[in-house]
Amino acid sequence: MALTMLNELLIEDPSPPVLLYQVSKTAKLDTLNYQSCFMQGIFAHFPEILFIHRTYNPRGKVLYTFLVDGPRVQLEGPLARAVYFAIPAKEDAERLAQMFQVFKKFNPAWEKVCTILVDPYFLPLPTLAMEFPAAEVLPSAFHICKFLQGKFYQLSLEQPVERVLLTSLQSTMCSATAGNLRKLYTLLSNCIPPDQLPKLHSYWLLNDRIWLAHRWRSRAESSRYFQGLEVTTRVLSQFFGTTPSVELGVTSLLRYMQQNSGDKASFSLGLSSQSSRAPSDLSPQSPKAEQLVEACIQHSLHTICAGPAAQLCLGELAVVQKSVHLIGSGSEKVSIQILEDTHRVQPQPPASCSCYFNQAFHLPCRHILAMLSARRQVLQPDMLSPHWTAGCAASLDDILGSKWSESLDKHLAVTLLTEEVGQLLQHCSQEEFERRYSTLRELADSWIGPYEQVQL
């Protein structure tokens, strides 16, 4: 099965990539090294700074994704900066050395690598230093930010304290001056219980060498940088990190790369010939095409919706225009991610979404509008509830005052949390499942009491 799916990629790709893999005795994928011709060209143009991200699969395999980084890199879009994928047989020194050596063999520009950015818990540092002796290895600002965010949630702090810490962290990451980092360090020292503070490794904030590799970005550039990496890591997690089958996850990811990354990145790099596409063509990535699609959606909202409904939906569309990312689709539902919010969209009329806006107002939310934009479609009358059509709705103040429901807000929050917990339990090992189930069992008993069996 692994051989069949991976060989199909070679047939489908017009420019055969570097694809080296080994299959175990049970026909399971053991190791993999992949780089398309275009990815190879991107690395050759921007070899100075390499960003390495690891994605873990439920089966225990690890996907290493190499991305280019630095001031010269202006590529946008999920995985546009990815230049290499690798899955080692094991994360030991010998196997990782082999992985890096294969990368070096097919990329002569590796000798120009000056800095390698990794997550703070990247254990094979000696192997990395040995294979790239001239490069400086540093923890990345993105991984430190994600680490601290996770710790804030784990500590179960009071909501106002948690909110202050998250806001301060976001602000500091977008302007990582020595003064701002020192302020965040002091804030952590004052807000985090002393026995928990060492677990946050707050001394990273005072290591100026880490932040020099990130500080050159403006506040706006930093915001786009973190959002871009957030989307990239979530795409990797969706394709590889949540799929029990390593072969299926890798095949889906590489097919996604073939279909989505090449044209946009080549346009930014200027690598493709100018004559290959007429200036008037409206490709899916063309700014002119995007503006036309957005204008058509706005027109359909004004035409079909009542005035108050159009106002609400245009506010949602404004968010979509700045931060929408279409993650994936199935036969019946589409997964939409906007920054850190993921919701389920039912595209069949009447369109619905799991977010609060759609559930409370029964109007096309930013996630539905994102789906329309990605599919280059417009709003249709049958996608809207009858009481929202032009001429049927009351004033905007009456609508906002009558539709909000605290109980619905709580119900949606619980539903989303339940779905997320269920997904985590389904895709973990048996040992991890038992540990997590035991934790839920204790939590339920602490709320209601062990004398009453709680259905989980």
What amino acid is encoded at 291 in this protein? Answer: Q
- Chain-wide mean pLDDT for the chain? 76
Closest of 214, 69, 210 to residue 137, by C-alpha: 210
Strand ranges across the sheet with 341-346:
324-329, 334-338, 341-346, 352-353
Closest of 119, 137, 141 to residue 127, by C-alpha: 137
Average pLDDT over residues 159-178: 89
Whole-model pTM: value is: 0.58
What are the tens digits of pLDDT across the range 194-238?
888 898 999 999 998 899 888 888 888 888 888 888 888 888 888
Q: Which DSSP letter does residue 365 get?
A: -
Closest of 361, 437, 433 to residue 399, by C-alpha: 361
What amino acid is encoded at 346 in this protein? Answer: Q
pLDDT for position 114: 93
What are the tens digits of pLDDT across the range 205-217?
999 889 988 888 8
Could you tell me the sign of the dihedral formed by the alpha carbons of 99, 104, 109, 114, in that order? Answer: positive
Average pLDDT over residues 42-62: 91
Task: Please state which of the ranges 13-17, 154-158, 391-395 shows the lowest mean pLDDT.
Answer: 391-395
CB atoms < 10 A from the CB of 129, how many?
Answer: 14
pLDDT for position 324: 45
Closest of 221, 201, 38 to residue 119, by C-alpha: 201
More confident residue, 399 or 247: 247
% residues pLDDT > 70 (the chain): 70
CA dist list (Å): 210 to 47, 113, 172, 204, 425: 19, 17, 14, 8, 36
- Kindly tell me if the per-residue pLDDT of 264 is higher than 50: no
What are the tens digits of pLDDT across the range 349-373?
778 887 767 776 778 887 888 888 7
Categorize the per-residue pLDDT at 402 as very low, low, confident or very high, splitting at 50, 70 and 90: very low
Task: Please state which of the ranges 129-133, 242-246, 266-270 shows the lowest mean pLDDT.
Answer: 266-270
Task: Please state which of the ranges 167-171, 194-198, 201-205, 413-417 shows the lowest mean pLDDT.
Answer: 413-417
Please state whether 89 falls in left (phi above 0), alpha (psi between -120 and 50) or beta. alpha
CB atoms < 10 A from the CB of 401, how many?
Answer: 10
Contacts of 128 (CB under 8 A, 6+ apart): 96, 100, 116, 118, 122, 135, 137
Instruction: For tokens 């991610």, name the residue.
Output: 337
CA atoms of 114 and 137, how far apart (whole Å)? 9
More confident residue, 250 or 414: 250
CA atoms of 76 and 268, how far apart (whole Å)? 9
243 alpha carbon, distance to own chain's centre: 16
- The 3 state secondary structure assigned to 272-315 is CCHHHCCCCCCCCCCHHHHHHHHHHHHHHHHHHECHHHHHHHHH
CA atoms of 18 and 9, how far apart (whole Å)? 11
- Kindly tell me if the per-residue pLDDT of 321 is higher than 80: no
Q: What is the largest CA-CA distance in the chain?
A: 75
Categorize the per-residue pLDDT at 11 as very low, low, confident or very high, splitting at 50, 70 and 90: low
- Kindly tell me if the per-residue pLDDT of 445 is higher than 90: no
CA atoms of 342 and 412, how far apart (whole Å)? 13
- Kindly tell me if the per-residue pLDDT of 85 is higher than 70: yes
Contact 138, 116 (CB under 8 A): yes
CA atoms of 342 and 327, how far apart (whole Å)? 9
pLDDT for position 425: 77
Closest of 55, 37, 106 to residue 239, by C-alpha: 55
Winning range, highest mean pLDDT, from 258-262, 274-278, 376-380, 387-391: 376-380
CA dist list (Å): 32 to 18, 56, 57, 96, 359: 10, 14, 14, 12, 44
Q: Which helix (H) or strand (E) holds 52?
A: strand 49-56
Strand ranges across the sheet with 82-87:
18-23, 29-35, 82-87, 62-69, 49-56, 115-118, 136-139
Average pLDDT over residues 105-110: 92
